[in-house]
Amino acid sequence: MLEVLRHHGPARLGRFTFQDMILRTPGLLPLPAGEGEPAVADQGSLFLPQETAGPGILPDFPCGLDVPREIAEFAVEETIRAAEGYPDFPAVVQGGRYPELRRRCARELGDRPFLVIADGAKLVRRPRVLVEVLPAVREEAGPNTALYLPHAPAAWFPILAYMGVDLFDGLSARVSARQGLMETTAGPVDVRGLRELPCRCAACADRDPEELGYRGLLEHNLNEAARECAGIREAIRAGTLRNLVETRASAQVEMMAALRLLDRDHSAFLERYTPVRP
């Protein structure tokens, strides 16, 4: 569960405890060596369930983002049904692009260690849907339930945390590395188009772009994800997360669109946890 230490809007600085893990949030779920999945066991989908030794993420009914409402409703019902009787297990919030279905799914799943927001990779490419779905889920989830959005690029971490996401992962870092892309604060950059590396992390120092390779890119991308999380936590402590979000959004059109929609349509959601100073 999540112990919330400080708010900045819906963003939460906290201490997340699950099984043998203790993480600072917003933060990364750990990746086991040589694997691309979170260390938390995933029991698969209802189509292909998998056995796990502990309380891993419960099977769900994956429906995708752009499906007819009837299919999304069925996915929500089946996901909720599969989670009944396992209140201490993490579960997946289904509902496609329909915020009211996401809201219902989060409410019915109840207080759990964390909830997984399905279709994370697609949501960050759809600012309007993202801005409707995340506040809906955050408002229905329990205050000590962490929200986990898989597959998000590191550059999006600040605005996602600003909307209430507590946990990220390194899956986007791995995919980007396979594609020859370097994660930066302004988004992914094709390393093959660089004449020198714009980074001096342990993976990049004293190397030329052609020397980096997949392993070097992966190490850099994971470093970038961890660095972004640390920066978000410091910004929450300092009360400057909004400044960080605006800086990141200025570099990406889709992120700026999400921020403007958030301000226009969800000001009450943002202000609910914002401290009032005389």
Q: What is the mean pLDDT of residues 186-204?
A: 88
Q: Look at 25-39, 161-175, 204-218, 246-260 and tell me which has the smallest mean pLDDT.
A: 25-39
A 10 A CB-CB count for 256 gives: 16
Query: Reduced to 3 DSSP states, what percent helix, strand and coil does the chain have, rounded to the nearest 5?
Result: 45, 15, 40
Please give the pLDDT value at position 94: 95
pLDDT interval class at 48 (50, 70, 90)? low
pLDDT interval class at 43 (50, 70, 90)? low
How far apart CA 118 and CA 62 sit, in angstroms, is 8
Q: What is the mean pLDDT of residues 198-225?
A: 89
Domain assignment of residue 128, given as a range: 2-30+38-268
**Count of domains observed in the chain:** 1
Q: In the numeric block, which tokens belong to residue 52?
A: 């796990």
Please give the pLDDT value at position 54: 58
pLDDT interval class at 21 (50, 70, 90)? confident
41-47: long-range contacts (C-beta < 8 A, 24 or more apart)?
A: 46/78, 46/79, 46/82
A 10 A CB-CB count for 104 gives: 20
Residue 100 clears pLDDT 90, i.e. is over it:
yes
Q: What is the mean pLDDT of residues 161-170?
A: 95
Please give the pLDDT value at position 27: 95
What does the chain come to in residues? 278
How far apart CA 105 and CA 108 sit, in angstroms, is 5
Q: In the numeric block, which tokens belong to residue 74?
A: 């069925």
Quick check: is 247 in a domain?
Answer: yes
User: Which residues neighbour 223 within 8 Å (Cβ) at sequence distance 6 or greater?
Assistant: 201, 202, 203
Task: Look up the CATH number of the domain holding residue 152.
Answer: 3.20.20.105
Please give the pLDDT value at position 85: 83
Quick check: is 276 in a domain?
Answer: no
Quick check: is 278 in a domain?
Answer: no
**Residue 71 half-sphere exposure, CB side, CA atoms within 13 Å?**
9
Please give the pLDDT value at position 206: 83
Check: CB of residue 17 under 8 Å from CB of residue 114.
no
Please give the pLDDT value at position 160: 97
Quick check: is 192 in a domain?
Answer: yes
Q: Look at 4-18, 24-38, 96-110 and tell me which has the smallest mean pLDDT.
A: 24-38
One-letter amino acid for residue 112 of the chain:
R
Quick check: is 185 in a domain?
Answer: yes
Percent of the chain whose predicted confidence (pLDDT) is above 70: 89
pLDDT interval class at 110 (50, 70, 90)? confident
pLDDT interval class at 212 (50, 70, 90)? confident
SS3 1: coil
Across the chain, mean pLDDT equals: 88
Check: CB of residue 79 under 8 Å from CB of residue 61.
yes
Quick check: is 68 in a domain?
Answer: yes
Residue 15 clears pLDDT 80, i.e. is over it:
yes
Q: What is the mean pLDDT of residues 84-103?
A: 92
Q: What is the pTM of this model?
A: 0.90
Quick check: is 201 in a domain?
Answer: yes
Quick check: is 277 in a domain?
Answer: no
Predicted confidence (pLDDT) per residue in 174-192, tens digit: 999 999 999 988 888 999 8
Check: CB of residue 96 under 8 Å from CB of residue 72.
yes
Answer whether the bond into residue 26 is a cis peptide, omega within 30°: yes
